[in-house]
Structure 1
Amino acid sequence: MTNAMHYDLTDLRLFVAIAEAKNLTRGAERVHLAPSSASHRMRLLEASIGTALLLREPRGVALTRAGEALLRHARQVFAQLEQMHADLTPYAKGVRGHVSLWANTHATHTFLPDSLSTFLKRHPQVTITLEEHTSPEVVMAVARGEVDVGVVADLVEGAEVELIPYRADRLVLIAPTDHPLARRASAGFAQVLDQPFVMLHSGSAIHTFTMNAAAALGRHLEVRIQVRSFEAVCRMVSAGVGLGMVPLSAVTEGSAPLAVVELEEPWAQRDLKVCVRKRESLSRFAADLVTSLTEAK
């Protein structure tokens, strides 16, 4: 018979914190433990499991193969605990529900504000944490069980997730009405890379996507100015600062005067999808959010 392993959720939370911080002291701080206590707990955890989990290095720690396996399972354990707590909240008077949602720039700035407003009005007991990330980052976080729900435009090969249609949209080029490009019905991305661009801020998902698209062509994008919203992109482009690349849905009737030019690229079609790990395993509140997003158009 194998020996029983003796550890608790505090040990697992500490281990995850240390693994993510790659540092024992900073990991201990995250879970409000003294470094000496954290070190002692880690030694007991390794002794209980019967193998080393952390490689002590001069500037921090790294995970052993066993540590990587434990980190993966520990994250799943905490995701399951969050689901359990959410499932029990209907029975606990006054307890609120929470859903973590990650989405790409496109969804965050166009469709989600209205969708989430509708959902939250119907579910006053629920709060949502919304973070903007690139589609691959969203998919992998959902696949690892770190995030309840994602909204993405790209699938990551091999990721074990479920995708449910949300909204159909496409990226277009926008230009000042007196720009030579304004006379064209369509253009390829490579044909406009010698032009200055107005972009969303560095770090936004669409900024990363656009830079990668230029790099794939062996080119560099000249960014004249970076702004914080698609509306600001439209206003800057209308004022003649440069060209822009935005979702068609971001060019509204109230936008400044612009020329909209079709983008002749297969990746310009940006069909957004709701991404979950397993729909039947979602908490009640996360399941309600998915239903609200995917059934209302």
Structure 2
Amino acid sequence: MTLMERLYNKVSQNGFVCVGLDTSIDYIPKTHKENKSIDQALFDFNREIIDSTKDVCAIYKIQIAYYESYGLLGMKAYSKTLSYIRKNNLLSIADVKRSDIAQSAKQYAKAHFSGDFEADFITLNPYMGMDSISPYLDFIEKKDKGVFVLLRTSNPGASDFECLKLKDNSEFFYTVGDKLKELNNKLLDKTGYGPIGLVVGATHKDEVEKIRKRYDNMFFLIPGFGAQMAESMNVYKLLNNLNGGVVNSSRAILKNYLNFDDGEDKIGYYARLKCIETRKEIENNGRL
């Protein structure tokens, strides 16, 4: 079974929610980090979230910045989290947003597709050109790995560059997407998708249908739902019959326990509840 078959099946079975393990030590209750090192506190929190949500989500996204900020101990927690996900036969996205070329990119590929920091997918920034993507192809093709490449992001500053108008009056990000689609089309499996996916924010309601139709054979990583308040209908339109993409939610899931009086004793339970609520909201609004 290919990586994309595993992801497609996970979405079919567990829904399209991607749990973002963007874990800050501030999110962890005092009682859960007393007498623990930073790495142990971070990992124990992540493990509780994973154990409680693994049958109601498709994949986990680990934003490396949160762990880098705690130095070596943070990176130890990052490595342990990825290893735990892998040992449980679950899927992971390392949100590293690398952007480099040649030998430097090859070393990034080695770092995040093997060894202590091995993940199934990583995120890439393509704006140095296609030679910032091609060094990853060896791992993608031979080691069954995948990437999600920034296309149309959900941050307010995305329009500064992504939406610059070209001579034919099209936005720049479509040129990027078209080149990535051409590469991905050579790698499709029986799911109809390939291992080169796109990061497409759900906050731009006037674009979502066009983007989904144009990149029909590409899996989407969809940020913006939850803390960034993207509309559930936008998210629904970026999916493809409730598959073809994963919808990331981080803080809304990790911190959901704070909304309940008994939350500190049921962190995993309330994370699970939020996963289920997120899926239902998107599905129900999509049917309207």
Q: TM-score under structure 2 normalisation? A: 0.20
More strand by share: 1
Structure of greater Rg = 1
Q: TM-score under structure 1 normalisation? A: 0.20
More helix by share: 2
